[in-house]
Amino acid sequence: MTNKILINRYQIISELGKGSFGTTYLAVDLDSPNHLQYVVKQLAPSDPRPKVFQVAKKLFEKEAKALQNLGKHNQIPKFFDYFEEGGQFYIVQEFIEGNDLGKEIYSQSILTENETVQLLIEILEVLKYVHQQNVIHRDLKLQNIMRRKSDGKIVLIDFGAVKEIKGLTVTSSGHATTTIAVGTTGYMPSEQAAGKPKFCSDIYAVGMIGIEVLTGMRVNQFSENPSTGELIWKNQVNVSNNLGLVLDKMVTEYWKNRYQTVDEVMGELRKIVKPTPSKKRLLIPSRIVTSRIAAALGIVAVGGIASVIFASMLSKGVIEAGEGQDVEAMYNSLDALAEAGQWRNADRQNWQLINQIGDRDGDYSYISVSEAKQFSCPDLQRINKIWTQRSNGKFGYTAQLQVIDGNGDTLEAFRDNVQAWRRFAIAVGWKTGTDKDDDGYLSDNELQFTIDAPKGHLGTDGENFDLIITRAANCEL
């Protein structure tokens, strides 16, 4: 198919993926001035009979129009075209640059409860729109959820309804039916496997995603209770009773016992997730400490560049620098992610590393005063160095200290004066508006996670960011 031109317009560049239901290609639109790139999905019924083809064509047109309507949502690929050529059906959609969540999740550590809940809410918020359009996705799984590179938001792809074409057939009585259940084993509940999907079938799939990212196990690795058919998974992870009950209800075998609407699930999950702090999770650029802050921290400036003075000893009671293979692997991962410009993943790895260094319980939403004071200086210096070097001074603790200094604020004012904090948040792109109120703070999903973000934008160290940056400053970066 490579280089083949479809309907004298779309030239195939490469194959993106191939499954049991069809093949997906990357193509260029030869009619567009800039030869824009699109995703082209190829589908065809397995049954070659002409009467099956005619039924498939009607189904294809119906489902293509449904996809066209769904594409109006910002987190669903835009729909551009559909056509039939040579007995094959084709759909043309927006090309989403980024990675699927399978690549994102499998390449890093298991998610915490809070991160798992936040991810599920992200997915469910988009799924709510899908269900409002009277559409069941039918193939929700990590590989069919993209993390868009431009803004870090998730995008739902590869809707299942159009895939019915592959298994379509016509009985002797003229009745159209399908011989293949649309969906993926492990994410597909029994009623969907029987060809009778319901809205709560999608909820089952999202619940399986939650269990997968929380345990670090693939969905086909879990066993079932032979008496009830219920999934056995809580023996694989230390999970709170609240989240365990919600996930159990999402993936219960009998569909009537599940949550029936997305709103029901989100309502329960929002009771579990720790509230987003008013001081948003932030990411911090590091480079050169200047003038007032540099002098206050005792950093020697030579030729306008701060010479880093590393503490040679740690005072009694300070948590020792991270040791062992796990910590070193986290450092290597942070460095590799930052070098590759995968800033969102680097930010997550950074926070996991900080928790590991502090020997904490993985609660990523809060750091106590005592915990912040006991962070190892060599570790904070090493983290800062990675962010500084890989971002060319755009991200890291040093860059954030420069922003505070550039605002004309002292570190003490930053900690104690809410307007100084707001000025900082505005400068690094965590808040819009003015320093007169607390309106305009961005959520984690609204942060940029790109090298084009404002200086000091990245390095999101939780609710008590001010405590960590104070500790980092005292460590003489």
Mean pLDDT computed over 16-37: 87
Tell me, letter by letter, the H, E, C secondary structure of 258-308. Answer: CCCCHHHHHHHHHHHCCCCCCCCCCECCCCCCCHHHHHHHCCEEECCEEEC
| pLDDT at residue number 363 | 41
| Catalytic option among 100, 139, 335, 435 | 139
Asked whether the beta carbons of 215 and 237 are under 8 A apart, the reply is yes
Q: How far is CA 153 from CA 96, 188, 283, 333, 449, in A?
A: 11, 25, 17, 22, 10
What digits encode the pLDDT tens for the residues 209-230? 999 999 988 998 999 998 888 9
Per-residue model confidence (pLDDT) at position 52 = 67
User: Which residues lie across from 176 on neighbouring strands?
Assistant: 170
The lowest-confidence range among 50-59, 108-117, 405-414, 418-427 is 50-59
pLDDT exceeding 90 applies to what percent of the chain? 37
DSSP state of 437: S
Query: Considering only CA atoms, which of 349, 346, 371 is closest in space to residue 361?
Result: 371
Between these two residues, 296 and 460, which has the higher pLDDT value? 460
The three-state secondary structure class of 457 is: coil
pLDDT value of residue 165: 55
Within 10 angstroms of residue 452's Cβ, the number of other Cβ atoms is 7
In CATH, 98-272 is 3.40.50.410: no
Please report how many Cα atoms fall inside a 13 Å half-sphere around the Cα of residue 298, on the Cβ side: 8
- pLDDT, position 49: 75
Q: Please list, in sequence order, all residues whose beta carbon lies within 8 angstroms of the beta carbon of residue 221, skipping any fewer than 6 positions away.
A: none
Mean pLDDT, rounded, for 414-436: 85
pLDDT at residue 398 tops 70: yes
> Is residue 40 predicted with pLDDT exceeding 80?
yes
pLDDT at residue 366 greater than cutoff 70: no
Q: Quick one: which of 88, 73, 75, 69 has its CA closest to 25? A: 88
Residue 176 has a pLDDT of: 55
**What average pLDDT does this structure show over 383-406?**
92
> What value does the mean pLDDT of the chain take?
79
Nearest to 467 by CA among 390, 350, 354, 359: 354
pLDDT bracket for residue 31 (50, 70, 90):
very high
Mean pLDDT of 323-331: 70
Q: Residues 242-259: what's their mean pLDDT?
A: 96
d(CA 230, CA 207): 13
The pLDDT value recorded for residue 9 is 95
pLDDT (tens digit per residue) in 119-146: 999 999 999 999 998 889 999 999 999 9
Q: Is 60 within 8 Å of 45 (Cβ atoms)?
A: no
- Kindly list the domain boundaries of the chain, sorted by start residue: 5-94, 98-272, 291-474
Band (pLDDT 50/70/90 cuts) for residue 177 is: low
Q: Is 466 a catalytic site residue?
A: no
Give CA–CA dist 423/273, Å, rounded.
28
Q: Which CATH superfamily is domain 5-94 in?
A: Phosphorylase Kinase; domain 1 (3.30.200.20)
Please, are residues 9 and 29 in contact by the beta-carbon 8 Å criterion? yes
Three-state DSSP class for 302?
strand
Q: Which of 335, 470, 463 is nearest to 401 (CA)?
A: 470
Q: Evaluate whether 71 touches 77 at the Cβ level (below 8 Å).
A: yes
Q: Reply yes or no on whether the pLDDT at 415 is more than 80.
A: no
State how far the Cα of 472 lies from the Cα of 477, in Å rounded to an integer.
Answer: 7
Return the closest-CA partner of residue 131 out of 253, 269, 265: 265
Q: CA 120 to CA 137: how far, in whole Å?
A: 15
Average pLDDT on 251-261 reads 96
Longest dimension (CA), the chain: 88
Kindly state the average pLDDT of the residues 75-103.
90
Quick one: average pLDDT of 156-166?
A: 72
Residue 178 above 60 pLDDT? no
Q: Residue 172's pLDDT is what? A: 58
| Backbone conformation region of residue 270, classed left if phi is above 0, alpha if psi is from -120 to 50, else beta | alpha
Facing residues of 168 across strands?
A: 178
Say what the pLDDT of residue 106 is.
Answer: 75
Compute the average pLDDT of residues 275-295: 35
User: What confidence category does residue 466 fall into, taking pLDDT thresholds of 50, 70 and 90?
Assistant: confident
**Average pLDDT of 241-251?**
96
